[in-house]
Structure 1
Amino acid sequence: MLKDKKILLGVCGGIAAYKTSFLIRLLIKEGAQVQVVMTPEAQQFITSLTLSTLSKRPVLTAYYDPENGEWNNHVELALWADLLVIAPATANTLAKMAHGLCDNLLLAIYLSAKCPVCFAPAMDLDMWIHPTTKSNVALLQGFAKHHLIPPGTGELASGLSGEGRLAEPEEIIQFLIRFFDDDSLPLSGKNILVSAGPTYEAIDPVRFIGNHSSGKMGYAIAKLCAQLGASVTLVSGPTNLPTPKGCHRIDVTSAGEMLTACLSAADGADIIIMSAAVADYTPAKVSDKKIKKTEDLFEIKLKKTTDILAELGKRKKSKQLLAGFALETDNEEDNALSKLKRKNLDFIVLNSLRDKGAGFSGDTNKVTILDKQGNKTELPLKSKEDVAKDIIDYAIKLIPSTI
């Protein structure tokens, strides 16, 4: 699927730059045309001679050649490419991309590109989990035609072990093949936002208001979307679940944090599936010290949280599919249909705590899918993985009329 594809490969300054030599060989083997563009810092980690030899093209490192004045036209380069791949993408370059800074040839090409952009972050654990980096990645994923190639987990250059490793060249190749292979994977090229898990609303430094959501349903949806070729952002409340392979996970705790993360990631999403159990209320005042047990009767004043699903419904674009969940205990269908209409959803997944085997924590669920056309699909009790398949199959059927 990469034969004759024109790929601009941006290489940034990090220790993982050495892996680009293997990546170029694999791209050439797949039949792609590769033009390498290096940042000035990247040249400290691997030579342009190595990469030009492997790519069979001169490597570009500056706006012009100072010896003869020949200009490397960033606009023409951007128009030439079918795809811009930035690997490794450092924290520095991600920040510049997110905020429109332009101080080297690669960034000038990036800002001129009309083709899709795939970026593969690589940095140390502490840099990767820093809120600024997370915010920049979420912002980039909110841009149209931007796709994250998630970093791997393992030993890092600092000696730490964790997330932040550049995806292996073979993994990047498979990602790109899936990206171009629209016929084989139904969600290839789609950006999908999934929320999962509970939120915890702090009362004091040691106590919170929460719920029993395990996140299993949302994680099953995110995992399947990635397997079907999508670029997936998973905004997760507190859970003990591992990150599904191929998903970019953003960890949050409170409803306010989930709101910020979801609004940031939603703008560039083709499909949004909000399965998180978000708190409707949060303490009006949070004590900065542990509250001592003194009174027989203790009251906490609560205030409404912002309705994330309703906010997404207000901002929904014409070619964006938005789905939510409704966990009910009474008047289930009426309540779900009301939520569907009020929040401008394309469909809603209803489950009832009165159904045995459905709801929080367990490995099974029993749902009914209701859509804005008035269709109703009742499904039997199934594993959450099978329910995820039903939900995604339903979403895929709606894609032609929505996206």
Structure 2
Amino acid sequence: MRIVDAGLAVLAVTAVLALLVAVHRYVWCRLVGDTTRQGSPWRRAGTIAAYALPLLSLGALVAGPAGAPFPVQRVLAWPGYLWLAALLYLTLALLVGEAVRPLLRRWLARRAAAGAAPVRAPEPEPVPVPASAPEVAPAPESGAPALPAPSRRLFVARAVGGAAAVAGLGTVGYGTYGVLRGPRVKRVTVPLARLPRSAHGFRIAVVSDIHLGPILGRSHTQRVVDAVNRTQPDLIAVVGDLVDGSVADLGPAAEPLAGLRARHGAFFVTGNHEYYSGAAQWVDHVRELGLHPLENARVETGGFDLAGVNDIAGESEGQGPDFARALCDRDPARAVVLMAHQPVVIDEAVEHGVDLQLSGHTHGGQLWPGNYVAELSNPTVAGLERYGDTQLYVTRGAGAWGPPVRVGAPSDITVVELASRQA
């Protein structure tokens, strides 16, 4: 069985590498091969980049799992991950250009045909020159000798390639600015049938997927903390994927979390990335920073129960979600809000009578059209939806994984205001 699984893994990796090689070859052909002349410095530079950039991306992907020193990871991360995003949008822009290319060629051909036989104006009669007039040398033709104009094929290749480069790189640049600027605050009101009137208007700041790592560091954490504190929430729920790395490397980057302020405190549950980064150490570390980890546990607060379950990635370590443990022996008359990193556990939340589940994980797709891929494995990609008597809210997250770029899925911190139907 293990041999079969290993064989499938090898085939999958081979297929992905073959696809990446083909995509890089296509992008090189359209942006370099079709637009530059053989032996030109531009072609040499483009060819070098076509080899160097994918190697940097590969290095960025494997540096962390391979245990490379953190400074090396940081050096590789920026160019390596940004190139992956650029490759996506350059490819999409060039594919759109394939539809434009024949239309532009046809238009140029028609212009050339229309100008092939221009109507000539009648030549003026020669003016006789007196014999005594001094001889004047004919005036040289104005301007330097004209360079041969590029062929229509070369012109079209450069026009389409240039437009694709501007569109693709401009999209990546704007998406990067959106991440580095920090998350924006969203607000949503969620009515709960069992919420008492005394808890009407209770505000929970939901934060997920900060993804501290080689790219997003201490300054990003501070932006998130400042944005959360400005909302003056009653409670803060950090629902996983805080980090992409060890406490030794990222402990200083997480320190601003100690500044989170809420009347009923800040709570934390693990995400899948914590289990790639030493979940037990991070649980201890966030506790030292003043957050309250909910490891399949529950507390009573603000007129309702707040519960939290471990991420399903913890099952490999015997630390997966345990709904029975988190929700046992509670008063069924009280509303319960559940913190669970991945939306896919919503079915178990429904079975256990949860009123509201708060999740992240999806990033809202992060890079369009990634939202369509996220829909294949998540019941809800972003926003509020109802499943039976349970409501599920999924935040798009406050950071980014891999490329520090978001397109069509801006980062957010959500203030969920609970509403009592008795109010």
TM bucket (normalised to shorter chain) is: under 0.3
TM-score of the superposed pair, with normalisation by structure 1: 0.27
In our comparison, the structure showing a higher alpha carbon Rg is 2
TM-score of the superposed pair, with normalisation by structure 2: 0.26
Larger RCO (CA within 8 A; separation ≥ 6): 2
